Amino acid sequence: MKILILLAHPDTGSFNHAIANAAREEVLSNGHEPIVRDLYGEHFDPIMTSAEFSRDASLPGDIEEHCRQLASADGIIIVHPNWWGQPPAILKGWVDRVVRPGVAYEFVEGDTGEGVPNGLLKGKSVIVLNTSNTPAAREQEVFGDPLELLWKNCIFDLCGVTHFHRRMFNVIVTSTKDQRAEWLEEVRNVVRNFFAAGG
């Protein structure tokens, strides 16, 4: 299986990078092919131009490549920090430019305006791994966990994904080395369960 691993954090020494690396190693150890895209590392341009807006637009080569990799992936892992209840802008720009009609979803003929698309993604399993400096209870009680709503309800449910798992690791700023080691083992277990050897 091809597993797309999408990483969005500007600091190469971040725990997000450690999470992505643990996920990549587990994908490899299960006999699958990881496709790692480090958006900051490759200086991904998040700005969609008007020329790209239509479904049949002629896309820049790098965006075409991202679209091909998303469409052909058997599974997806996304790693990013929680910034103001949102992914970093570079990742939101990736969604704008790559999670496109004809690639990830389509509107069926005869749609009466309700705007519910038909999902096209080949990969039906998605893992989203986040870091945060907000305690879990506050995230739920005060903010209502906006990242869960965004990734599951607003994006992947509409793209045909049937198996979704998201985990927020918090609080990063006060976490110990041992705690982070436990979290990385949890990452490996989740990846192993979603993308098992021989699966």
Per-residue pLDDT band for 116 (boundaries 50, 70, 90) equals confident
Per-residue pLDDT band for 139 (boundaries 50, 70, 90) equals low
CB 80, CB 16: distance < 8 Å: yes
33 phi/psi in degrees, rounded to 5: -105, 115
3-state secondary structure labels for all residues of 15-59: HHHHHHHHHHHHHHHCCCEEEEEECCCCCCCCCCCHHHCCCCCCC
Per-residue pLDDT band for 33 (boundaries 50, 70, 90) equals very high
Q: Which of 140, 178, 154, 184 is nearest to 19 (CA)?
A: 184
Query: How many CB atoms within 10 Å of residue 4?
Result: 23
SS3 (DSSP) at 85: coil
> DSSP strand E in the chain: where?
2-7, 33-38, 75-81, 105-106, 118-119, 125-132, 163-170
pLDDT above 90 for 108: no
d(CA 18, CA 33): 18
Strand partners, 192: none
pLDDT above 90 for 135: no
What is the per-residue pLDDT for 176?
96
- How, if at all, do strands 118-119 and 75-81 pair? unpaired
Per-residue pLDDT band for 130 (boundaries 50, 70, 90) equals very high
What pTM value is reported for the model?
Answer: 0.92
Q: What is the pLDDT of residues 58-85, one digit of tens each?
A: 999 999 999 999 999 999 999 999 998 8
d(CA 4, CA 34): 6
Domains along the sequence of the chain with CATH: 2-194 (3.40.50.360)
Helix axes 61-72, 89-98, angle to 10 degrees: 80
